[in-house]
Amino acid sequence: MMDTAWIAKVWNEEHPAPRREIECRHCHAINRVPVDKAVLYPHKAICAQCKKLLFLANDEPLTGISSRSFENPLDSETLGTVRAIPGASALMKLVHKRLNESKLLFHMKANAIECNDEQFPELVAIVKTILKRLDCQFVPQVYFSSMPFVNAFTSGGEEAVICFSTALLNQLDDRELEFVTGHEFGHLMAEHVISRLILQVVLNGSFVALPGIARYLSMPLKLALLKWARCSELTADRAGLLACRDVTVALNCMMKMASGYERGVTERTQLSLAAFVAQAISLGRQEGDHFDSMMSSLFAGQQSHPFIAWRVMELIDWVENGNYFDILAGKYV
Ligand SMILES: [Zn+2]
Ligand SMILES: [Zn+2]
């Protein structure tokens, strides 16, 4: 049983849960739904007029959904900044031309375990479930690899690849894997792949598919790319939530990513999602715009999935004020 006590940390007497106007996808009546109830019991929300379910069931696909429906505006804004830097567009075209997907697949086959009907079909099944839910047009080959970091990554377009680290498989349950898988598909659907490949060059100095690209990168372009990369995570998190369709699962997964969820912690205590969410909220209340200073410190840190508390706040904000419930009610681009 997931710990839903976090809800009272977000919505309480001081900050009551707003009611959202949700249009019924069956009879088009407008229903006013309290956000906290919808978060807790999405599959109990029924239309006051026709008595049918307001929100899609977990196995109903978001047919034909475009990533524009769930794109975080910071994502497109910061990508605009990247594109406005002289030479950036030419570089993107060059990378696109030189992106050698079969080389990338070769690299995966040489270093990771390929999953299929004979090898870890359980993982393939989770990936297929999420492909269907998000109606994702990319059908990636699934891999897992022994890595000490809680991590998953996606690459490629036509020949897409998704790879899970063993640390991630150790620490997450199946529902949380749905969130991570949806997050990765979010990157694919929103076409983050080219810019993220360039970022790999920024972070690692080289990349198997793109030798020699690093010398084309200027410092302003590197910084703009890094800033965009953080923001692109926010779009991917929204896709993750649309994949697992349970805010508690998504937040719990983020807490585990922050905590590492290692035995040294889990054998001594039970982690509290409510306390973690309260921590994220207190971060949000801090004065001033720390964003840019955090960005420069990240440049040294080179993490690929940072700012867990920031991502938690952004996700809760989307649920409360954005179009998350509209999408679940079948209203999207
Ligand atoms: Zn209705
Ligand atoms: Zn990501």
293-302: average pLDDT? 52
In-domain check, residue 2 = no
- H/E element, 142: strand 141-145
| Number of structural domains the chain divides into | 1
pLDDT at 305 over 50: no
Span 165-178, mean pLDDT?
96
Query: Using an 8 Å Cβ cutoff, are 232 and 223 in contact?
Result: no
Q: Read off the tokens for 147.
A: 């890595």
Cβ neighbours of 327 (radius 10 Å): 21
The answer to the question of residue 297 being in a domain is yes
CA of 34 to the centre of ligand 2 (A): 30
Give the distance (Å) from ligand 2 centre to CA of residue 6.
24
| CA distance linking residue 18 with residue 32, whole number of Å | 9
Share of the chain above pLDDT 90, in %: 59
Over residues 96-113, the pLDDT tens digits come to 677 666 677 788 888 899
Domain contains 208? yes
Would 333 be classed as within a structural domain? no
pLDDT at 205 over 70: no
Which listed ligand is nearest to 152 at the C-alpha? 2
Asked whether the predicted pLDDT for residue 308 surpasses 90, the reply is: no
pLDDT given at position 177:
97
Nearest bound ligand to the CA of residue 236? 2
Residue 301 has pLDDT above 60, yes or no: no
Say how many Å lie between the first and final Cα of the chain, rounded.
Answer: 34
Residue 133 lies in a domain: yes
Cα 179 to middle of ligand 2, angstroms: 11
Q: Could you tell me the pLDDT band of residue 210, with boundaries at 50, 70 and 90? A: low
Ligand nearest to the CA of 54: 1
pTM for the model: 0.91
Ligand approaching nearest to the C-alpha of 257: 2
Mean pLDDT of 283-294: 60
Is residue 231 situated within a structural domain?
yes
Q: Domain limits at 317?
A: 7-328
- pLDDT for 201 equals 64
Q: Rank 31-40, 147-156, 206-215 by mean pLDDT and report only the highest.
A: 31-40
What is residue 43's predicted lDDT score, i.e. its pLDDT? 93
Query: Is residue 1 in a domain?
Result: no
The Cα 105–Cα 103 span in angstroms is: 5
Q: What percent of the chain clears pLDDT 70, i.e. is strictly above it?
A: 84
Asked if residue 119 is part of any domain, the answer here is yes
| Mean pLDDT taken over the chain | 86
Find, among 253, 252, 244, 245, the residue nearest to 272 by Cα.
252
